[in-house]
Amino acid sequence: MPSSPDSPALTVTPLPAFNDNYLWLLARGQEAAVVDPGDAAPVRRALDRHNLRLSAILVTHHHGDHVGGVLDLKSRTGARVYGPAGEQIEGVDIGLRGGEHAEVLGADFRVIDVPGHTAGHIAYFVPGESPPRLFCGDTLFACGCGRMFGGTARQMLASLDALAALPPSTLVYCAHEYTLSNIRFALSVEPANAALRERAARDEATRQRGEPTVPSTIGLELATNPFLRCDVPEVRASITHGTVDAVDRTAIFAALRKRKDNFR
């Protein structure tokens, strides 16, 4: 359900946690929600500082750095907890599957199944905001993607394809600040990609100022993220060294992911 024209805007703020996690704090007026609260402390501080009331907790997958603060926040605030129906996560009130919806802060959160990083991973797409928003946990990263712990290359690629099909203006809120190392890898695959080189310069400057490089957009990811570019001749050539034309895109994706796993 789109918010009414006179309701306050939805704000989204990164709360840094651990080494490189972002917990995403959403607010409309004084009502708040949080995505993937791996740690309760930074969320509690932000709620206190801005006098916000937490009404919802949204979880994308079961890893500890995404769920560690759920029970603490739930017991203190009574917030309703949404999470993937396909994973065992303590404290989840409403299990969600792809195609289902949750209404949070007056907005429609559409659930997309994105198995691969974990088997039951879900993402939340908010189409009614302008621009639309995507909370994708550890599936799509800025200029990269998550490691495959719970799925096959075919599943992970299908998950990334589903996210890549969202409107290009969609703001992409991933859960980690991995961007510069992802860009270094992307440049090793596509050294001549002008949009990627531009992004590298811009995001390096952003990090030098100590600011987050996220959110990015689906449009920027399509232009620069090698894992969304398995059909691009330069990416295919980098993997096959120009020798194998017939390699299917899943094999290209799997080889890219493996190369990234070993990239230093």
Q: Which residues bind Zn ion (CB under 5 A)?
A: 63, 138
CA distances from 188 to 1, 154, 264 (A): 43, 23, 11
Report the nearest approach of Zn ion to the CB of residue 137 (Å): 7
247: which residues sit within 8 A by CB, 6+ positions away? 236, 239, 240
Residues known to be catalytic? 61, 63, 65-66, 117, 138, 176
Taking the complex as a whole, how short is the minimal distance between the CB of residue 63 and Zn ion, in angstroms? 4
Helices 179-189, 249-261: crossing angle, 10 deg rounding: 120
Of 61 and 236, which has the nearer Cβ to Zn ion?
61
Query: Judged by CB, which is closer to Zn ion: 105, or 148?
Result: 148
Looking at beta carbons only, is 87 or 138 nearer to Zn ion? 138
- Tell me whether residue 68 or residue 128 sits nearer to Zn ion (CB atom): 68
Min dist. Cβ of residue 214 to Zn ion (A): 16
Q: How far is the CB of 93 from Zn ion (least distance, A)?
A: 21
